[in-house]
Amino acid sequence: MSEESLFVLKNVAKRFTKGKETISIFDDLNMTIKKGDFLAIMGPSGSGKTTLLNLLGGVDQPSSGEVLFDNSRVDQLKEGQLAKWRANNIGFIFQFYNLMPMLNAARNVELPLLLTNLSSKDRKQRVETALQLVGLGDRAKHMPGEMSGGQQQRVAIARAVVSDPKLLLCDEPTGDLDRKTADEILEMLQLLNRQFGKTIVMVTHDPSAAKFATHTLHLDKGQFVQEGQQHE
């Protein structure tokens, strides 16, 4: 694993058992994500895109193979270790925002910091900085129901970056937004990548969204393909 590589998957297989049937999502998947990448992953439904994000985020573990992050084996971590690793390294952004409706914007953004040892004062300062970064410094006390879809996604982005993670995992981050708002969100992700050095992996069905990434990989039947060829 080179110094430039943030994530490496080696010969990863992922299988699920349903009754007497074994369903294979990946059989022998290999990929490298370099530090500073903005990678878009496209592919048909059922191709394994969300499963891949779950493996990268430590939400799921491979059936076999190796998952390395910064030269360390993530697939060998126990559940408690994984939770700490995610809190320190991974930010998640979802299609439907996944905000807590009973918490205001600031409290939603603060949630990942509750897993850290930061003081209340330090948490507050980080939350203010993150909301300023996404242009919502004046919306800290607003509830999700008082904000537009685009504003809610900005809160979700602030929540994802508040712990200063190395990697952002985005699952259809603009799938519930109109084109104009979607482009604003994508420009924000591009800014986080270019100016703040965040490595980003984004699953999307939208070719217009993929254009904001530095490069695109196509996933089909558990393998990366490009113009009919397997990606190496």
Residue type, 110: E
Instruction: Report if residue 107 sits inside a domain.
Output: no
Is 180 inside a domain boundary?
yes
Q: Higher confidence at residue 87 or residue 53?
A: 53
> What is the C-alpha to C-alpha distance for residues 172 and 203, in angstroms, rounded to an integer?
5
pLDDT of 2 > 70? The answer is no
Q: What is the CATH number of the domain that holds 74?
A: 3.40.50.300
Whether residue 174 is contained in a domain is answered as: yes
132 confidence band (pLDDT: 50, 70, 90): very high
In a domain, 17, yes or no: yes
Res 143 pLDDT > 90 = yes
Cα 159 from Cα 88, distance rounded (Å): 13
Mean pLDDT (whole number) for 11-39: 89
Mean pLDDT value of segment 137-146: 94
Residue with tokens 């490298």: 32
- Dihedral of alpha carbons 18, 51, 173, 134, sign: positive
Per-residue pLDDT at 230 exceeds 50: no
Distance CA 202, CA 167 (A): 11
Q: Which of 154, 116, 121 is nearest to 135 (CA)?
A: 154
Please report whether residue 9 resides in a domain.
yes
Residue 232 has a pLDDT of 35
Q: Is residue 38 part of a domain?
A: yes
- Quick check: helix, strand or coil at residue 177? coil
- Res. 1: pLDDT tops 70: no
Pairwise pLDDT comparison (227 vs 10), residue with the higher score? 10
pLDDT at 176: 81
**Overall residue count recorded for the chain in this entry:** 232
**Arithmetic mean of pLDDT, 82-103:** 89
Q: What pLDDT shows up at residue 199?
A: 95
Give the integer Cα–Cα distance in Å for 199 and 6: 8
Burial of 26 (0-12, 13-18, 19+ CB in 10 A): buried
CB 223 within 8 A of CB 230: yes
Count: domains in the chain = 1
Confidence of residue 226 (pLDDT cuts 50, 70, 90): low
Q: Where are the beta strands (DSSP E) in the chain?
A: 5-18, 21-34, 38-42, 64-69, 72-73, 90-94, 167-171, 199-203, 215-220, 223-226, 229-230
To the question of pTM greater than 0.75 for the whole model, the response is yes
Position 61 in a domain:
yes
Say if 198 falls within a structural domain: yes
Cα 31 from chain centroid (whole Å): 16
Cα of 72 vs its chain's centroid, Å: 19
Note down the domain range covering 85. Answer: 5-96+165-230
Find the mean pLDDT for residues 115-124: 88
Which residue type, as a one-letter code, is found at position 99? L
